[in-house]
Every structure is written in structure tokens, then in C-alpha cells.
Amino acid sequence: MSILLSTLNARYAHASLGLRYLLANMGALSEQTRLKEFVIGTRAADIVEKLLAEKPRVIGFGVYIWNVEEITEVVALLKLLAPEVVIVLGGPEVSYEPEQQRIVKLADYLITGWGDVSFPKLCAAILNGPKPLMKIHPGEQPPVDQIALPYAFYNDQDIAHRTLYVEASRGCPFKCEFCLSALDKTAWPFALEPFLAELETLYQRGVRQFKFVDRTFNLNIKTSLRILQFFLDKLAAAPDDPVYAHFELVPDHLPDALKESIQKFPPGALQFEIGIQSFNPDVQALVSRKQDNTKAATNLLWLREQSHAHLHVDLIAGLPGEDIDSFARGFDQLVSLRPHEIQFGILKRLRGTPIIRHTDTYKLVFDPAPPYAILATAHIDFSSMQRLVRFARYWDLVANSGRFATTLPMILADAPFQRFINLSDWLYAQTDATHRIALDRLAHLVTQWLCLQGAELAEVVALITQDHAGKVASTTLKKNTAISVAPQRQGRHLAA
């Protein structure tokens, strides 16, 4: 065995699609190549020990925004302990601005962009000569019909325990400046029949959850309909053997034919990830995002009311030109459309994205450490941005977790953003923490805050108890909340 393909995934449940593409396209070197995945948080020394136990001559690392710091430490140890092992880097995090990165200085070679063709060519030269002199190699982009599909390299353990990623196309035709896909010229579809045959094979092997990573699943409606029909056929043939598919949807492109297909899916079978990002047309124009907000809102409402699809909708705080009031209006509008989840993201400066052209004009200040989150803009100062970061975390804990589904309408009332940021500020003042807050404590705090806003204790306790089905004791909730609220209400002696 000469070549190892490795990365650190964000969770064990994630399986690297990119590494499996490389493995599928190794050609004559495939018998000498092996996959070795790890999870972030694993000790660098433990990773290095396992890598070196394979006695590789070449190790290729997939480097992403979430693992670059840890892989840098792994590469540093490898170069100390086994400098003869050749390190090749690839992935979006190192494909841009490589001269600024310590990991690139440590490594022997770097492939920027697509690696399906370039990685096996580079490995062949490293192993068989002549040894390449250039350190950085621009990735060769072949026609997608010349790329071997990777799905056979999901093994039985992957199928049993992990999320399997698939893609019907690569790239994106849109130019949103905060996204790396802005650098793509277009979207490149894979041939549909071979792709559907791969899905069939995965299904026959036992896969029932498919996560599509296409940036624009509904760009070509004919293709979308064929793929949806694949899953409808499986559901019809085995209604007691549910299948689940996740797609990223363009929000303002939902023709009737697609609606008709979506309506046929039962609950729990479809999830749509939908990027709204901002409802402010001036901000959209500034970051080159083309979106018909009226159509997007109408389609979201239709999906919520007329389909069983689970809706996960994204907003981004910190975009150039957007202040808190503008973001709050967009947030309130999105809440009114009732998606199942709102992913409240903070703008990040992904390497290579055109968003940096606004840095001076809009005074964008980004954290220099991954994930390069925005710290301040001309319209949102650092302190206010920190409030939004905490808002996002508490929103995950309270709203997106589903643990306060019955109570959430009372929390948001008639001013969702303002109400929730008030709750967020109060929670932080009480806990000085945004992580590791136990459920019973969080339930008590939410109850206490609602009572301080004027809600009746018995009503709040009934809602919280319904949400948690006995996981939070209602008697303790009543007693503790009454004691903590009483001193702040004149004339009330609830603890007596």
C-alpha cells in the first residue's frame, strides 16, 4: 500500500464524498490506495500513529474550513516523525490564498480545485518519477462524464452508520459573493441514467437516507422530477420501508410540475435546505445574489402549507450593507412563513470568495482564525455582532432543537426578532454561557423569562411540560420559577 487518502470529518456520521471520488479515479494506482478517515477532536498524535502504521509513501489530505487547524498539526507531526512521507493537500480551504497558510508551507504538494484527474497523475509522478518540481498544481477539470462515480466506495459500515452524500451535479450558475460556488462558471450535471443506476445500487445495499450536495437541485426541472420519481417509486413499492432525501432548493423556482411531485411525498421523506440569506434587495444586489423575494416567500409558504417536506431555511447576519434592523425585518418575515428550522448563520470569509471586495467600503472585519466569522461591519459593531452570535446559538438550543415547539409561539409573540434577542441577552446575563446548558436549567430559565414578560406561571409551566413530556418536573419548575420571579414583582409572594 503506497497511498493514503485522509481527512478529519466534522462528525463520525459524515462520510467524505470528496475522498471517495479520488479513490474511484485512481486508475492503475487504485490497488495501492486506501481510505483512512478521522473525526475532529481526535488527538493529532493518535491520528499520526494510525497513518504511519499503514506505512504509506504518499498521504493526501482533504482540507476544509472545519479541519484545517487540526490537519495542520497532523502534517507538522508527520514531517517531524516521517519526513520521507510525501504530503499532498487538496480541498477548498487550501485552494485559495495558499501562500498565507502554514499547512501549505509544511506540505510537499498542493492541488487547487478539482482533484479527480490531477491527484492520480501527481501520485504516479511521485512514485514512479520524474518527481514534480512545482509545489502547487492547478487541478484539471475534466468533463463530468469522464469522472468515475464514487458510490461503490461506501462500505457496509458507512451504509449502516453514516450519512451518505450524493450529487447529481457539480457547480452553481449563481454568483453569490459569500459562497465559493460564485467562482464556478456554471453547474455541470452528471449523466442521469448512470447516476440513477448508482442510486439503485445504494438502495439495494440498504441505503435509506440520501443527502444531495447539489447547490441547485431544482435548476433543471426535468432532472429534478426524474430523481424525485426514483424515490416515489421506492415509497410506493415498500410503503413500510421509508426512504429520506435531502435537497438544496432554489427558493424562487418552483414550477407546478415540481409542486405536484413534492406533494406526493409522505411526512418524513423530504427535507429541503433553502437559502434565503437576506430579504433586503439592496443587500442582495450588493453581493450579486439574484432572488425574487416575492416568489421565494410565496414558494416557502406553499411548501409549508401544501407539502409534508421539512424546511430548513438559511439567513446570514453580517452581510455588507445590512444593519440589525434590516436583518430583524428579514428574520420576522421568515418566521411568519413558518419554516421548521431557521439556520441563523454568521457571515464567514471563505478563502477565494469575492466578498472581500467590500472590505474597505463596508469596514468588514473578519476573525483571522477559522471559520473566519465576521466580527464587525460599518453597520454592526463588534458588541452587536456578539449579541447576534449568541442569538444564533440560543436559537439552535430553543427553536431549532424542537425542544420548545409548544412554547416557542409564546416566546416570539408578535415581535419575533426583538423578543428572542431580549431572551438571548437575558439568558447570557444569567448563565455567562452559550453551551452545555442542561435541559432542565434551560427550561427553568425560559419559564422564568416568560413570567418576567408578564405571562402566567401556570400557563408557561403547562406549555413547557407538554414540550418535555415529563423530562422536566412541573412541580420543581413551578416552585423554582416562582421563587426566582417573585422578588421582581411587587406584592407577589408566590413562594409562600
Which of 287, 283, 151, 255 is closest to 213 using CA atoms?
Answer: 151
What torsion, rounded to 10 degrees, do the Cα atoms 317, 319, 325, 327 define?
Answer: -50
- Is residue 169 classed as helix, strand or coil in its secondary structure? strand
Q: Compute the Cα dihedral for 348, 349, 352, 353 and give only its sign.
A: positive
Burial grade of 430 (CB within 10 A; 0-12, 13-18, 19 or more): middle
Residue numbers of the chain with a pLDDT score lower than 50: 486-496
Q: How far apart are CA 226 and CA 256, in angstroms?
A: 15
- Tens of pLDDT, residue by residue over 30-88, are 999 999 999 999 999 999 999 999 999 999 999 999 999 999 999 999 999 999 999 99
Q: Which helix (H) or strand (E) holds 68?
A: helix 68-81
pLDDT at 482: 58
Q: What is the CA radius of gyration of the chain?
A: 25
Length of the chain: 496
pLDDT at 494: 34
pTM of the predicted model, to two decimals?
Answer: 0.92
Is residue 459 within 8 A of residue 450, CB to CB? The reply is no
pLDDT at 185: 86
Domain boundaries, the chain: 3-144, 163-380, 402-496
Instruction: Enumerate residues 6+ apart whose C-beta is below 8 A from 289.
Output: 174, 175, 176, 177, 277, 278
pLDDT at 468: 85
CATH of range 3-144; options 3.40.50.300, 3.40.50.280, 3.40.50.150, 1.10.3720.10: 3.40.50.280
Q: Are strands 374-376 and 365-366 parallel, antiparallel or unpaired?
A: antiparallel
pLDDT at 493: 32
Q: How far apart are CA 335 and CA 343, in angstroms?
A: 11
Instruction: Enumerate residues 6+ apart whose C-beta is below 8 A from 234.
Output: 203, 241, 243
Q: Are strands 341-346 and 109-112 parallel, antiparallel or unpaired?
A: unpaired
CATH 3.90.950.20 fits 163-380, yes or no: no
